[in-house]
Structure 1
Amino acid sequence: MRGIKQYLFIAAAFISGAASAQSSKTYPDYLQPDHAVNALTMVMIHDVVSPPVAARYYAYSMMGAYNLVEANTQSIPALKSIVKAYQPTGVLDTLKGKYDYKIASYYSILEIGKQLLPSGALLEDDQTQFVTLLKKTGVKQDVIDNSIKAALAASKDVLAFSKSDNYNKLSALKRYTPSKADGKWYPTPPGYFEAVEPNWRTIRVMLLDSARQCKAAKLVPFNKDTTSAFYKQVMEVYNQSKHLSVEQINQAMFWDCNPFAITTSGHMAIGFKKISPGGHWMHLTGQVARQAKLSFDQTVAALTVEGATLMDAFISCWDEKYNSDRIRPETFINRYIDVKWQPVLQTPPFPEFTSGHAVVSNASAELLTYLLGDNFNFTDNTEVPFGSSQRSFKSFRQAAAEASMSRFYGGIHYMESVTQGNVQGKEVGNIVISKLKAAGLQPFAK
C-alpha cells in the first residue's frame, strides 16, 4: 500500500507541475494532451520501461491523436506524408455520428498506451476519470460515446501498424553475450544487469531511411598504453570526477533519467524508479507547448513528431552502441587504474558509444527549435517530482548541450562519445525537419 501511495503522490506532482506551466487556456485544461502523456509516463515508470522501448511507446501513443486532428482540421498534414511506412486504413472517414475530435484524441492517447504498455490496464482509471469529468462539464452522452468510438477506431489503426515494426520478433533473435575481450562492453556494478535491447537496430524507423543513416565518425581505438589517445580520454573522465563543482554535479543529477537506479547500504540494495530520457523530453515538449500557447492541434502535432524523433534517435544510437560495443569508463578504470573508483551516476547497462543523452537531446532540440524558434527561454521542471530542482535555459540547444555534458560529469561517458553523439543527434533532428518541411508542417513560432 505504501508503494501505491508513493506512486500516486509522484503522479499528482508530475501532472500538477505540467499544469502550472499553462499561461493561457484556449480549451479546457482537462483536454491538454500532455496530461494523457504524463499518465503514460507514470505507468512506464511503474513498469521500469527501458529508454528505447519508452520512446517507441510515446511515438505510437500519439499517432491516433494526430490522425484524429488531421481528419478534422486543415492545420497539419497527413501523417502518411511524414512517416513513410504508415498507410492509414481510412477508417475515420467512415465514422457516423457527431464526435469531438479533441475528446477522441485525448482518449486515444490513453487507449494506445493501455494496449501497448505491460501495465497498460492502469490507464483504465484515467479513461474512467476523464469520461466522468466530461459528464460533469456538460458534454452530451452521445458526443462522449461517439468520441470514444472514434478514439477506438483511430487506436486500432495505429496498433495494427505498430505490430509490423519487428518489436515482436526481438525475443527470437540471437541472444547478446558480453565479451570479456579488452575494449568491449561488460556489465557494471552494482546491478550487473544484462545489456538493454541489443537488437534494437532491427526496429522499423519512423522518419529516417534506416538505422544506419546517421552513423557516427570512426571512434578512437581502444588502447591501454598510457600515452594513447584512448587512455587520455579515460584519464579525462577520471580526473574530472575528482574536481567536480557543485554546478556540474547538479547538472549530472538533473539529467540522470535512469529508469532504475540501485543504491546500496551494506548488504541492502534499494531501487529507485525515474523517468526515461525520452520521457523527460516529452514532458518538456508538453510544457513549452503550454508556454508558447499552442493550439490543441499544434500541441498534438508537436508531441507526435517529438515521439517519432525520439524513437528514431534511439534506433540510430543503439545501432552504433552495439556496432562499436565499447567499454564503459567504470570498467576500464576499475580494471586498470583504480579498483575502488565509482562514477557520480550509475552506469547504464549497455555499451558506451555514442551517448544516448547526447543523441536524443540534440535531435529533440533541433526539432523544438524548428517548431518554436531559437532563443526560447524556459524553466524545465520535469525532474522536480524525482528529487531535483528546476533548471532554466535560454534555448533548446543550450538544454541539449547541458544534457550531453552531464553524462561526462556523471562519469559514464568519454568526451568523444558526447561530441560525436551531439553530431549524430543533430543529424537525426535535421533529417526529421527536412521530412516535416517536405510534408508541409510549418513552424509554430510567429
Structure 2
Amino acid sequence: MVSRMRKIGKYVLLFLCLFLHQLSIATVVKPALDSYIQPVVMSTTMVMIHDVVNPPAAARFYSYMLLSAQVIVSQEEKEIPSPAVLLKNFPKISISKGPNAQIKLAALYSILESGRLLLPSGFQLEADQKKLVVKWKKAGFSAKEIQESIELATQVSNQIVAWAKTDGYFTLSTLHRYRPLKDRGFWYPTPPAYMEAVEPHWSTIKPMFLDSASQFKPHPPVTYHEDPSSEFYQLAKDVFEIKNKLSPEQKLIAAFWDCNPFAINTSGHMSIGFKKMSPGGHWMNITGIACRKKQLSFEKTIFLHALVATTLMDAFISCWDEKFRSNRIRPETVIQRLFDIHWQPLLQTPPFPEYTSGHSVISTAAAEILTHFLGDSFSYMDDSEIYFDLKPRSFSSFRQAANEAAISRLYGGIHYLDAIEQGQVQGRNIGNFIIEKIKTAQIKTF
C-alpha cells in the first residue's frame, strides 16, 4: 500500500513538474508585447531629436511608421480596420505571411523598419532592431518565427515607404526658396539665429484625411495696425505685459509645452543648441501613456497611435497652409518695434509665421481623437518631458491638456491670443471631421 502511494505520488509530482514547465514556456512564448510599443515609438523619437526634425515633418514620419504597423495588425484582428477604411488614396498592400510569422513581432519591427527607411539618420534604428531580436530569442520565440515576422514587417514597410514617396515630400526641395515679404505686418526671421522659414511649402503635402490643405481655413487674423486704439495693438500689448505678470506655475506650463526641436542659447560669442521632441512627439507619448493606463490590447494600442499620428499630420498641413497665407508677424518683432527694443519672449520664437498657433491646432485635434476613444474624463500623468528635466504634470482630461498647451504659447510670448483661439477652432474642426469618418466606418470606441 505504501509502495503504491509512493508510486502515485511520483506520478503526481511528475505531472505537476510537466504542468509547471509548460506553464513557464507559455509565459515565455507570450511575453507582454504590449509594453514594447511605447519604447519602440520612443526610439524613433530619439532619432528625430538627433536629426532636429521639424514639427510638420515629424508628424509625417510618425504617420507612415505607425500605419505600417496598423496594416499588419489589421490582418488578424477584426476590430482593427485597415488604413484603407479611413484614409484617402491608401494603396493596396500585398502581403505574403509565412506560417510562423507573429503579427505582434512584425508590427513592432515594421515601426523601426519604416523609420529606418524614412528618417535621415534611420540607420541608427538598426541597433534597436537587433535589441528586439535578442529580446525575442530570450523570450522563447523560434528562429523561424522571428525570421518570418521580420520578412512580413519588411515587405509591408517597403510598400508603405514607396507610398510615402508620392505625397510631395521629395519635391519640396525643388520649389522656389522662400523669401520674407517686405511689409511691416508680415513675418520676418527672429533672433537669436534668424533662421529661415521652416517648411514654407508644407501645404503641398497630400493630407491623409482632409480633402485639401485649406479645407478648414480659419478666420483671417486681426489686421496688423500700429494705432494704439487698434485691436492688433492691444493683442501685442497683452503679450508684452503678461511676461511681467507670469506666475511660477505659468512659467512652468510654458516650459512644459515648449517642444522646440532646436532652441539656441547665446552667451557672448558662444551659441549652444538644445534639442527637444516635437509637439507631435509629445502627443504621441501621451497616446502611449493613455494606452498603457487603459490597458488596451496590443492591436488597439497600435491603431490609436496610427490614428493620432495621421491626425497630427493633417493638422500640421492645415496649420502651415494658414501660416504662409496670412504670414503674420511674430510678437517679438512687433514688441521690440513698438514697446521695448530689448524685450525677449520667455520661449524662443519658432522660425515661421505666427497665425495660427501650431500647438493649439495639433493639440486640440489630437485631444479630440483621444477623447472620442477613451472618454472626456480620462485622467493621466504626463511624464513626456522628464527626458528634458521637467517634472510630470497631471491632467484630468485630454482637452484640459490641449487647452494648457494652447495657452502656453501666450505665456511663452510667441503667439497672440487670436492665433491661439482660432487655432483651437481649427484643430477642433479637423478632429471632428476625422471622428465623423470613424463613426461612418462604424469603428467602435475603446
Instruction: Give me the TM-score of the superposition, normalised by structure 1.
Output: 0.92
Matching of residue 61 in structure 1 with residue 73 in structure 2: no
The Cα shift of 1:29 comes to 4.7
Asked whether 1:33 is paired with 2:24, we answer no
Which of 139, 157, 160 is the matching residue for 1:158? 160
Hey, what's the Cα distance between the residues in 1 that align with 2:73 and 2:49?
28
What is the aligned partner in structure 2 of residue 84 from structure 1?
Answer: 88
Q: Which residue in the other structure is 2:4 paired with?
A: none
Q: How big is the shift at 1:27?
A: 4.8
Q: Which residue in the other structure is 2:344 paired with? A: 342
Contact 1:306/1:364 (<8 A) preserved: yes
Aligned partners of 1:358, 1:339: CA distance in 2, in Å?
Answer: 28
Shift of 1:56: 0.2
**Superposition pairs of residues 322-333 of structure 1, within 5 angstroms:** 322-333=324-335
Q: Output the CA distance in 1 between the equivalents of 2:441 and 2:80.
A: 9
**Aligned equivalent of 2:437:** 435
Does structure 2 retain, via aligned residues, the 8 Å contact 1:64–1:109? Answer: yes
Distance 1:182 1:442 in 2: 50
Q: Which one-letter code corresponds to 1:58 in the other structure? A: Y
Match of 1:52 in 2: 56
SS in 1 for 2:58: helix
Moved more, 27-36 or 43-52: 27-36
- CA-atom RMSD, angstroms? 1.1
Match of 1:11 in 2: none
1:137 aligned partner: 139
Query: Alpha-carbon deviation of 1:31?
Result: 5.4
SS at match of 2:74: helix
Q: CA deviation at 1:201?
A: 0.1
1:8 paired residue number: none
Q: How far is 1:286 from its partner? A: 0.6
Task: State how 1:251-330 maps to structure 2 within 5 Å.
Answer: 251-330=253-332
The equivalences for 1:74-113 within 5 A come to 74-89=78-93, 91-92=94-95, 94-113=96-115
Determine if contact 1:215/1:424 at 8 Å carries over to the other structure.
yes
Alignment correspondent of 2:406 = 404
Q: 1:302 to 1:141 in 2, by over 3 A?
A: same
Instruction: State which drifts further: 94-103 or 188-197.
Output: 94-103
Separation in 1, partners of 2:45, 2:210: 25
Match of 1:234 among 233, 236, 255: 236
The structural deviation recorded for 1:123 is 0.1
Residue in 2 aligned with 1:209? 211
| AA aligned opposite 1:49 | V
Deviations 1:313-340 (Å, cap 9, x if unpaired)?
Answer: 0000000000000000000111222100
Preserved CA contact (<8 Å) 1:88 1:157: no
Instruction: Identify unmatched segments of 5+ residues in structure 1.
Output: 1-25
| In structure 1, C-alpha distance between the alignment counterparts of 2:217 and 2:265, rounded to whole Å | 35
2:148 partner SS: helix
Aligned-partner Cα distance in 2 for 1:111–1:96: 18
- Does the 8 Å CA contact 1:214/1:316 hold for their aligned counterparts? yes
1:360 alignment partner in structure 2 = 362
Could you say what secondary structure the match of 1:236 adopts?
helix
Structure with higher RCO (Cα < 8 A, 6+ apart): 1
CA contact under 8 A between 2:190 and 2:351: conserved in structure 1? yes
- CA distance in 2: counterparts of 1:96 and 1:291, whole angstroms: 33
Q: Over residues 143-183 of structure 1, what are the superposed CA-to-partner deviations in whole Å (9 max), with x where a residue is unaligned?
A: 10110010001101111110110001101112110123110
Displacement, 1:78? 1.8
- Determine the C-alpha separation between the residues in 2 that align with 1:312 and 1:27: 35
How big is each residue's C-alpha offset from its partner over 1:186-221, in whole Å with a ceiling of 9 and x where there is no partner? 000001000000000000000111101111112211
**Alignment-derived partner of residue 244 in structure 1:** 246
Q: Which amino acid aligns with 1:109?
A: I
C-alpha separation in 1, matches of 2:295 and 2:34: 15
Q: CA deviation at 1:440?
A: 2.7
Does structure 1 retain, via aligned residues, the 8 Å contact 2:34–2:298? no
Deviations 1:247-267 (A, max 9, x none): 110100000000000111122
Instruction: Provide the aligned length of Structure 1 versus Structure 2.
Output: 417
CA contact (8 A) 2:34 2:297 kept: no
The structural deviation recorded for 1:51 is 0.2
Find the counterpart in structure 1 of residue 382 from structure 2: 380
Whether the 8 Å contact between 1:31 and 1:102 is mirrored in structure 2 is no
Q: In the TM superposition, what whole-angstrom CA distance separates every residue of 1:270-306 from its partner, at most 9, and x where no partner exists?
A: 1100010000000110111000000001000000001
Distance in 2 of aligned mates of 1:418 and 1:45 = 26
Checking the alignment, whether the CA contact within 8 Å between 2:203 and 2:320 is kept in structure 1 is yes
Question: Does the 8 Å CA contact 2:31/2:139 hold for their aligned counterparts?
Answer: no
2:194 is aligned, of 169, 192, 195, to 192
Between 1:117-126 and 1:177-186, the stretch displaced more is 177-186
- SS of aligned partner of 1:126: helix
Structure 1 residues 429 and 79 mapped into 2: Cα distance closer, same or farther (>3 Å)? same
TM-score, with normalisation over the residues of structure 2?
0.92
Does the 8 Å CA contact 1:31/1:106 hold for their aligned counterparts?
A: no
- Shift in CA distance, 311/109, structure 1 to aligned 2, threshold 3 Å: same
> Unmatched 5+ residue regions in structure 2?
1-29
Instruction: Tell me the residue number matched to 1:9.
Output: none
Cross-structure match for 1:119: 121
Structure 1 counterpart SS, 2:179? coil
Distance 1:371 1:27 in 2: 26
SS of corresponding position for 1:40? helix
Query: Which amino acid is 1:267 matched to?
Result: H
Q: Helix, strand or coil for the counterpart of 2:384?
A: coil
Percent of pairs with identical residues = 50
Q: Quick one: distance in 1 between partners of 2:394 and 2:76?
A: 36
Does the 8 Å CA contact 2:33/2:298 hold for their aligned counterparts?
Answer: no
Tell me, in whole angstroms, the C-alpha distance in 2 between the residues paired with 1:335 and 1:180. Answer: 15
Quick check: 2:220–2:326 contact (8 Å CA) kept in 1?
A: no
1:70 pairs with one of 74, 91, 107: 74
Q: Which amino acid aligns with 1:402?
A: E
Separation in 2, partners of 1:277, 1:392 = 18
* 2:382–2:393 CA contact under 8 A, matched in 1: yes
- Aligned mates of 1:357, 1:296 — CA distance in 2: 29
